[in-house]
Amino acid sequence: MDARAHTGERGDPSGPTVHDTPERLLLREQVSRFVAREVEPNADAWEHDGRVPRQVIARLGQLGWLGLQVPEVYGGSGVDPITNFVFTEALSRSTYGGFVVTVLVHTDMASPHLVHAGTEAQKARWLPGIVRGDIMAAIAVTEANAGSDVARIRTTARRDGADFVLDGSKMFITNGVHADLYFVAARTAPLETGSRGLSIFAVEKGAPGFRVGQVLDKTGWRSSDTAELVFDGCRVPAADLLGNENEGFRALMRNFQRERLALAAMAIGNAMSSLALALEHARTREAFGGALWQREAIRQKLALLDARTQALRAFAYHCAWLDSERQDCVREISQLKALAGELANDVAYGCQQCHGGIGYIRESAIERLWRDARILSIGGGATEVMLEEAAKRL
Ligand SMILES: Cc1cc2nc3c(=O)[nH]c(=O)nc-3n(C[C@H](O)[C@H](O)[C@H](O)COP(=O)(O)OP(=O)(O)OC[C@H]3O[C@@H](n4cnc5c(N)ncnc54)[C@H](O)[C@@H]3O)c2cc1C
């Protein structure tokens, strides 16, 4: 049943968009095939192990999909945001959200910091490895006492000779255990300066004074590793400051747009896969003398969830287009993230309900999609925070 969630067969809610080109259609088809053949049959073991194997990441690198947003000079292909959205959406049709987030944190949430703010020397040093998948990236902003309110982070970075010295800790960091390179937000000016006192540092695994703290056990995204990071007098060469000192907040806000598009793609992929599974189940499951599909209440519920998903998908492509046109789209992308996180939960819940008892059993894909959906309205900008961002711009 799992393998049918992303096959594009009859009833599959994903279809053409007005933005399709032969290249984008080919990319969607190739990524879908990869998900069907190389992810879905194998990822139960990754869920069990709490990580995606490095050879799978390397395979994505060989296929060129870890460098879609990286300029060609560093081994990437520098595609536009719409083409990138095609990739993130197609990957997100996997019923294993932990796999998807492992990849998208690397490609869309962490490494864009280096692409946007890195010096030539920093890019030449790390980007080729990131594109190949030899260097796994993470983004470390959240702290135990500062999540939504990024301006309140307390990890400090104090200049000492040719180094900065980092002290503090980070919480809930995706790829936290197995990454090789961490983009860490730290305070380079007193707390009172708020958002004007933050900077971003590239910290390599093995830096003195840096260690992975508690490994966190989660409801969903089981194949993704999530950890606390500890910086205890961690020395980072001043040359590894990313962008200008005290301008980190602006860089974070800029990258949050890309991050939120990727999270919206995850939500849409989750919703489409949930719907595909529920349609299949409703058509084949017999109760009270016929298939569930013959019940008006069931098919109308699925029709409405499908309509909401299609509408959101169209809005998501519109947001990717605004981004590709370099228009200010903070309002739209904040609204998209809010809608997408809530919708994924509504769809997964409704589709799980159609499955009855089997939808509550660990072996069923819909049960995993329901668990994986939960974080999508919390992580990377909770719904309420996104709506505040949108409201400010109405
Ligand atoms: C599995 C997982 C992976 C993650 N990966 C990363 C990562 O790789 N890197 C990273 O830096 N962070 C990561 N995070 C952190 C994530 O982005 C934060 O958890 C999220 O931003 C919310 O912050 P918080 O947990 O501190 O909640 P808080 O900020 O304490 O908010 C709690 C709740 O209060 C509500 N709320 C907050 N602000 C407002 C407001 N203004 N108005 C109304 N309601 C509000 C929301 O419902 C919110 O969910 C991850 C988290 C999880 C669980």
Q: What is the pLDDT of residue 363?
A: 85
Binning pLDDT at 50, 70 and 90, where does residue 15 land? confident
Distances (CA, A) of 42 to 2, 45, 49, 363: 11, 6, 12, 13
Distance between CA atoms of 164 and 14, rounded to whole angstroms?
48
Distance between CA atoms of 172 and 225, rounded to whole angstroms?
9
Q: Please report, as a single letter, which amino acid is at residue 340.
A: A
**Ligand 1 pocket, mutate which of 225, 226, 378 (most atoms under 8 A from CB):** 378
Classified as helix, coil or strand, 209 is coil
Q: Give residue-wise pLDDT tens across range 37-46.
A: 999 999 999 9
Distances (CA, A) of 181 to 52, 133, 139: 17, 12, 9
Distance between CA atoms of 291 and 288, rounded to whole angstroms?
8
User: Percentage of the chain with pLDDT > 70?
Assistant: 96
Arithmetic mean of pLDDT over the chain = 95
Distances (CA, A) of 79 to 160, 190, 212, 343: 40, 39, 34, 28
- Tally of residues, the chain: 394
Distance between CA atoms of 257 and 261, rounded to whole angstroms?
6
Residues 379, 263 contacting (CB under 8 angstroms): yes
- Write out residues with Cβ below 6 Å of ligand 1: 105, 139-142, 147-148, 172-174, 218, 221, 226, 375, 378-380, 382, 384-385, 388
Q: Give residue-wise pLDDT tens across range 174-200.
A: 999 999 999 999 999 999 999 999 999
Structure tokens at 1: 């049943």
Other beta carbons within 10 angstroms of residue 22's beta carbon come to 7
Distance between CA atoms of 105 and 98, rounded to whole angstroms?
11
Q: What is the pLDDT of residue 16?
A: 82
DSSP string, 78-133: ---HHHHHHHHHHHTTSS-HHHHHHHHIIIIIIHHHHHHH--HHHHHHHHHHHHHT
Binning pLDDT at 50, 70 and 90, where does residue 14 land? low
User: Closest ligand 1 atom to the C-alpha of 224?
Assistant: 1
Distance 391 CA to ligand 1 centre (A): 19
259 classed as catalytic: yes
Distance 242 CA to ligand 1 centre (A): 24
pTM of the full structure:
0.96
Q: Give residue-wise pLDDT tens across range 358-373.
A: 999 998 999 999 999 9
Torsion 137-141-142-148 (CA) sign: negative
Q: From the centroid of its chain, how far is CA 261?
A: 9
Q: What is the pLDDT of residue 13?
A: 53
Closest CA to 167 of 178, 177, 155, 179: 155
